[in-house]
Amino acid sequence: MTAPEIPEATPLGERGRTGLGVVQAVAALRQEIGHLRREGHRIGLVPTMGALHAGHIALVRHALEAADRVCVSVFVNPTQFGPNEDFAVYPRDEAGDAAKLAGAGAHLLFAPSADEMYPEGEVCRVTVPGLGDILEGAFRPGFFTGVATVVAKLLIQASPDIAVFGEKDYQQLQVIRRMVRDLHIPVRIEAAPTIRESDGLALSSRNAYLTADERAIAPELYATLMEVAHRARHDRATANVERWASDRLIEAGFTSVDYVTVRDAETLEPWPGGTRPGRVLGAAWLGRTRLIDNVPVP
């Protein structure tokens, strides 16, 4: 596996602690974070898989509010892709990512190779049974084990005070919160709201796969989830609402619907209603592209 094509590591010490430092090795990351800690800085981490868009930059801004030095990891994590998924073609733009991070005011880019993150012979995995097996976990077996494993590694490697994740991947956020709690990892997990196009489509690196016709249909996912949230609040028969939503998406032009469901916002078990916070989550296919989104029950 080859290392990403990005500029050579530029130690922060040689740059007078300004601009974006770039490191590719865990040892170099630890060294840089160590310098920053000794200078008394609070460290924020934003884990990403690159192909950065305005949604990622919003995560960086969020981290800059909560911490005074921000490290962004860019790593397309092979263990969270299934055998028939898009690992090989997942969008990659290492130089563009570095430029965007520098523009956003991030301090450190950690861009390890796959061999650095998964050295030969490594075998350990982190699983989050239950929460990691339903919804996305049921449709993408092994996905959350890949996510939990790489996020655990990143949190141990960077030892940040806070780490920021987007609400766009709502189940991922809950899985990571559970993992951090159960493993006593000393970090505060912060959630940043989903950034949307003006027509409501949630920003995602995978939107790049949509054809023009599919792009025109895509905002219907958000519109449908919003309507489900409204109906769920006023009508407890969520099964009917969920069926209605799937039909509406197919009529709008979606190829198939994996799920639209109203869940307890924390456990992701079926929503009991009442005062428990609820979340509507959906996943549907437009041609060969799978879109996910979620909204709160008002």
Least spacing, CB of residue 152 vs ligand PAF, in Å = 10
Q: What are phi and psi of 13, to 5 degrees?
A: -60, -35
191 within 8 A of 167, measured Cβ to Cβ: yes
Q: How far apart are CA 152 and CA 82, in angstroms?
A: 20
Q: Which 163-182 residues touch ligand PAF, going by CB under 6 A?
A: 169, 172
Q: Which 180-219 residues touch ligand PAF, going by CB under 6 A?
A: none
182 by DSSP, 3-state: which?
helix
Q: Helix H segments across the chain?
A: 26-38, 54-66, 94-104, 114-117, 136-139, 143-158, 170-182, 212-217, 220-234, 238-252
From residue 11 to residue 50, the character string flagging contacts with ligand PAF as x (rule: CB under 6 A) and all else as - is ------------------------------------xxx-
**All residues at 6 or more sequence positions from 97 whose CB lies less than 8 Å from its CB, including other chains:** 6, 50, 51, 52, 74, 109
Tell which one of 20, 151, 162, 164 touches ligand PAF (CB under 6 A).
Answer: 151
Q: How far apart are CA 238 and CA 271, in angstroms?
A: 9
Least spacing, CB of residue 45 vs ligand PAF, in Å = 10
Identify which of residues 231 and 290 has a Cβ nearer to ligand PAF in the complex: 290
Identify which of residues 163 and 249 has a Cβ nearer to ligand PAF in the complex: 163
265 near ligand PAF, judged by CB under 6 A: no
Least spacing, CB of residue 77 vs ligand PAF, in Å = 4
From residue 56 to residue 85, the character string flagging contacts with ligand PAF as x (rule: CB under 6 A) and all else as - is ---------------------x--x-----
147 near ligand PAF, judged by CB under 6 A: yes
Could you say which of 56, 107, 230, 234 is catalytic? Answer: 56
293 near ligand PAF, judged by CB under 6 A: no
Question: Given the DSSP bridges, would you call strands 256-264 and 108-110 parallel, antiparallel or unpaired?
Answer: unpaired
* Cβ count within 10 A of residue 152: 18
Identify which of residues 169 and 258 has a Cβ nearer to ligand PAF in the complex: 169
Q: How far apart are CA 73 and CA 185, in angstroms?
A: 18
Identify which of residues 182 and 213 has a Cβ nearer to ligand PAF in the complex: 182
Task: Decide if 56 is catalytic.
Answer: yes
Among the listed residues 280, 282, 297, the one whose alpha carbon sits nearest the alpha carbon of residue 250: 282
Per CB under 6 A, residues contacting ligand PAF are 47-49, 77, 80, 147, 150-151, 169, 172
**Active site residue ranges:** 56
